[in-house]
Amino acid sequence: MTKRNWLIPTFCLLSMFYAFAQQVLPLDETKYVDSLENVIRSKIGTSDRTKAAFWLSDYWRGRDTIEARRYLNLAKDWGQGDDFMEAMYPFYEGQFYFNHDVTKAADCFKTSVEKLSQFDTKEAKLLRATAWFDYGMMMKNEKGYEFFVENALEKAIPLLDEVGEIEKKAHFYSQIGVTFLYNSQFKKSLEYQEKALSLLNQDRFKNSSVLLFVHLFTASSYLYMSESIMGKAHLNQAKAMLDPYPESINLGVYYFIESLYFTVTEKFLAAIQSADQGIAIAQKYHQQMLEQMLVFRKYNAYLELKDYRMAKQSLLSLMDRKPFFSDTNNRRTLFQQLSQVTALMGQKEEAYDWLLKYNSINDSLNQSQFKEKLNALEIQFRTVENEKKIASLEAEKELTELTTNNNKLYYLLLELSLFFSLLFAIILWSYYQKHKKLSLQREINYKQELKEMNQQQQLNSAKAILVGEENERKRVAQDLHDGLGGILAGIKMNLSKIEDKGDTTNIALEQVQNKIDYSLVELRRIARNMMPESLLKFGINTGLRDLCELYRTPGTQIEYESFQIEEDIPQQNQLTIYRIVQELLSNAIKHSQASMILVQCSQNQNRLFITVEDNGKGFNLETNSFHSGMGLDNIRNRVSYLDGQLEIKSVPNEGTIINIELDVYK
């Protein structure tokens, strides 16, 4: 087989391995977690309990962000007043953001380096080394892989040498090797993996998680070099380490590499079986990226088996799935492979459509080779029709020549007559077909224009309703604040001027003043709900952050996270976004009985993504009356106004997740 097909997933192999291998945990995870929980429950020492909470937050960050945040908050509370614990906090906060907010994670790691530099202990230097390494990893897309490698070799590893930390040094060498693997420098990758192996060649590291991943990375490098025997040798060593731990989360990564091995050795059915085993592990531990990469591995095997139907089905299962489909490079590759496999199935028109989608993404990434492929497929598509016409004309020509040879003299005039008659008929038929096609196209265009006019009219109506509603809110809020607010404030001032006429009078006046104070507070709250002042002054990001603060209660913690929110979103659209989140929070507070609500907002060009997740009681999507409620109707109208999409996921007793995608510059 060719390398071309089984090298397809290399483009995101690095991000997948970083997500798992960067978090080095003992192979016996159950024992590890139980021991930390025992430390927290024992209450034997604030310092030990704080560190246990930090480590549990680090453990859960790749599995359950709400649980990770809970332990991180516990560590923050318990560590107050302890300078070293407070210096540790930004490091573990950076670990929390590691997989979903690169900017915040980089800032946290930089802060932790500064704070930890005040301490000269082995533990502080070890954390500083890791913070430097992770900072370089977060900045690799902005400053390049050269910056990452230089940062690791010149800042992180020298600190490890100072404290004699061998295992962590091997881990850093291994991840530098992964960087070269990602860039297809397989021999260079092997050099660093061999450095890591030489450091770990001691009996005390025989059960090290770092050693496990070094074997897996080394196997990958050999397999991508088509050296399957060496790759299998390291794969077997990794399997031997995992055998005593059948519930290990790392088994999913092992099956990914094993499936790659079977693909390289052209054992495609075995590759599919290994991928299925890995998918089961990934689903069990909610490893979405790993699961989707294993599906891509199955596609490679089906493609080599020429089972194009299953290959196409595998690709289609990845459509619209996060985090795989969120990455532009992944979508481009997915569309490209769909175009290839549908073309192999003889579905030329569908292949052409997928290639157009590939073109749309490829143009933005400045891929020069796209135009040639598109033209080739377009020519191939049009050639099918041209070949039919050519074949028909050639058949007629052969028939005419045969008749001419047999009856050359006798039928000469008749042939000429028939020839011109046929030519005239062809011209008439071509004219008729062309006129028919033009008429059909005009009818289609007319229907499309009517449809677009109706849609535009509906959007204009929805916009007018929403704008009118916001204007009315603004007017009423202004009237309440300037009119009734001023009157109540004046009454309070006049009451305060009344002279003391005895205890009874003072008590009555105090009660009236208290009621007026309450009325003023309530008035301001109503006015702020109707027209949020922070949104108008400071923009959507600040407005949403204040909204989460407003809805927070002693029994319900609300966390807000944002990423790359632009400041130039039209104000009317900002108001629409604000109302959507306000309605979602209101519903969650009223109905979910949740103790934790997470609000996440991010922007990619003109698309804004909103996720509201709670750990409440959830509901049945098929029967719950929530689907017909006024609140959800308001949300749907506003989402439709911004040409968006709404997705609701909920399981009874497990919480609710609502995902929304909007066009904020519409």
- HSE of 642 in the Cβ direction (CA atoms, 13 Å)? 33
Measured CA to CA, the distance from residue 491 to residue 496 in angstroms comes to: 9
Peptide bond into 323 cis (omega under 30): yes
Torsion-angle region of 227 (φ positive above 0: left; ψ -120 to 50: alpha; else: beta):
beta
Token pair of 655 as six digits: 């919480």
Who contacts 546 (Cβ-Cβ below 8 Å, separation ≥6)? 532, 534, 535
Q: What angle do CA 53, 545, 648 make, to 5 degrees?
A: 80
Token pair of 106 as six digits: 């980089």
Amino acid at 231: G
**Neighbouring-strand partners of residue 600:** 561, 611
Residue 378 has a pLDDT of: 41
Residue 215 has a pLDDT of: 94
Q: What is the mean pLDDT of each run of 10 residues along the chain (666 residues)?
A: 48 47 67 87 82 89 86 92 93 88 92 94 93 89 86 92 92 89 86 93 89 92 91 94 88 92 94 94 83 89 93 89 71 88 92 89 57 41 48 58 60 66 71 74 78 67 60 60 63 64 62 73 63 80 89 90 90 89 90 91 92 90 60 84 90 91 88
Residue-by-residue DSSP string for 595-639: SEEEEEEEEETTEEEEEEEE-S----TTT-GGGGSHHHHHHHHHH
- Separation of CA 497 from chain center: 62
Measured CA to CA, the distance from residue 316 to residue 319 in angstroms comes to: 5
Give me the torsion for CA of 569, 572, 574, 580, rounded to 10°. -140
Across 156-188, b (16+ Cβ under 10 Å) vs e yields bbebbeeeebbbbbbbbbbbbbbbbbbeeebeb
Residue 346 has a pLDDT of: 92
Across 103-115, b (16+ Cβ under 10 Å) vs e yields ebbbbbbbbbbeb
Token pair of 222 as six digits: 């050999």
Report strand pairing: 655-663 vs 557-563.
unpaired
pLDDT in tens, 393-423: 565 666 556 655 666 655 566 666 667 667 7
Is the pTM higher than 0.85? The answer reads no
Q: Which fold has domain 534-663?
A: Heat Shock Protein 90 (3.30.565)
Residue among 217, 252, 248 nearest 235 (CA): 217
Amino acid at 282: A
Token pair of 617 as six digits: 């009681």
Q: Which helix (H) or strand (E) holds 663?
A: strand 655-663
Taking a C-beta distance cutoff of 8 angstroms, is the pair 467, 572 a contact? yes
> Alpha helix (H) ranges present in 305-369?
308-316, 328-344, 348-364
Who contacts 298 (Cβ-Cβ below 8 Å, separation ≥6)? 259, 271, 272, 275, 276, 310, 314
- Separation of CA 151 from chain center: 27
Indicate the DSSP class of residue 481.
I
Q: What residue spans define the domains of the chain? A: 23-97, 327-406, 417-531, 534-663
Amino acid at 159: L
| Secondary structure of 139-171 as H, E, C letters | CHHHHCHHHHHHHHHHHHHHHHHHHCCHHHHHH
Residue 370 has a pLDDT of: 36
